[in-house]
Amino acid sequence: MILLAQVSDTHFDLGARNAERVERVMAYLADLRRRPDAILLTGDITDSGQPDQYAEARMALQADIPVYSIPGNHDDRAAFRIALLGEPASTAPINHVHRVGELTVVLLDSSIPGEPAGRLTDETYDWLRGALADAPADGPILLALHHPPAHLFSPVIDEISLMEPDRLAEIVAADQRIVGVVSGHAHSSVATTFAGRPLLVAPSTASVLGGEWELDLPDHVMDYAPDPAVALHVIDENNRMTTYFRSIPMGGWLGVQPL
């Protein structure tokens, strides 16, 4: 069994609130009886891509298990690279691949500098094909990106989701090793399908966006009252993906009570 934690849309803004919520989530993950094999950060790490915000994020996201991150539309690629990856500044897409046990995790940069919507560039598609070609022939693969590649019935997110999702869908549908796709951006826990595979959208630690049946635009958009939340993805020995969405009380984890 492989266990991945997905933390998303942390929006570090140099304020105490968002940082404390992420620290609470990280403490919860560290205290689990079965700790995650890796943590995936699926974008919007900062609120406006400032170097000081990345410094704040780097401190709060420290862990003694691997942490893999990609940018979102609120991030800045150059500052992201310097602060979180220890690489020279560059505005090129931040794509990377990692092995977690038998699982290959492919992280794709769907951000467009200066734009809220997402797109995978031709360069990224070429890179993705190469990463899939290099992955083990019989091992499971998980794709991660910031922008959801599907309609989510959100009057906010559907306007700024992944453009040209059919290009990605063709690749996903053609590769039976891909067990699922995960994303962020929607500030809600969402489960649907994409190209015949599970598409799991992680909640935000910072706030919640509702669906078209509950939002009253433009007056009511973000809900800041709910506790922070995290997605926990299990890939089992049959390459089946199971996801738990867990809210983390800011007052502390209360433990398991008898049913």
CATH code for the domain in which residue 123 is found: 3.60.21.10
Give percent above pLDDT 90 in the chain.
Answer: 90
205 domain residue, yes or no: yes
Q: What is the mean pLDDT of residues 124-131?
A: 98
Task: Say if residue 254's pLDDT is above 70.
Answer: no
pLDDT by residue (tens digit) across 166-198?
999 999 999 999 999 999 999 999 999 999 999
Residue 254 lies in a domain: no
**222 inside domain:** yes
Residue 255 lies in a domain: no
Quick one: pLDDT at residue 195? Answer: 98
Mean pLDDT (the chain, rounded): 94
> Alpha-carbon torsion 26, 29, 35, 37, what sign?
negative
**pLDDT of 215:** 75
Residue 259 lies in a domain: no
Task: Please say whether the beta carbons of 72 and 43 come within 8 A.
Answer: yes
Q: What is the DSSP string of 181-247?
A: EEE-SSSS-EEEEETTEEEEEPPBSS-EE--TTT-BTTTB-EE--SPPEEEEEEE-TT--EEEEEEE
How many other β-carbons are positioned within 10 Å of the β-carbon of residue 126?
10
Give the mean model confidence (pLDDT) for residues 149-165: 95
Tell me: pLDDT of 252 over 70.
Answer: no
| Residue 165 forms part of a structural domain | yes
Note down the domain range covering 72: 2-247
Prediction pTM value: 0.94
Asked if the structure places residue 63 within a domain, the reply is yes
pLDDT tens for residues 195-236? 999 999 999 999 999 888 887 776 668 889 999 999 999 999
pLDDT at 220 (0 to 100): 67
Q: What is the pLDDT of residue 221?
A: 81
- Structural domain count, the chain: 1
Return the pLDDT at 253. Answer: 52
pLDDT tens-place string over residues 20-55: 999 999 999 999 999 999 999 999 999 999 999 999
Q: Please indicate, yes or no, if residue 257 is contained in any of the structural domains.
A: no
**208-209 and 222-223: which strand pairing?**
antiparallel
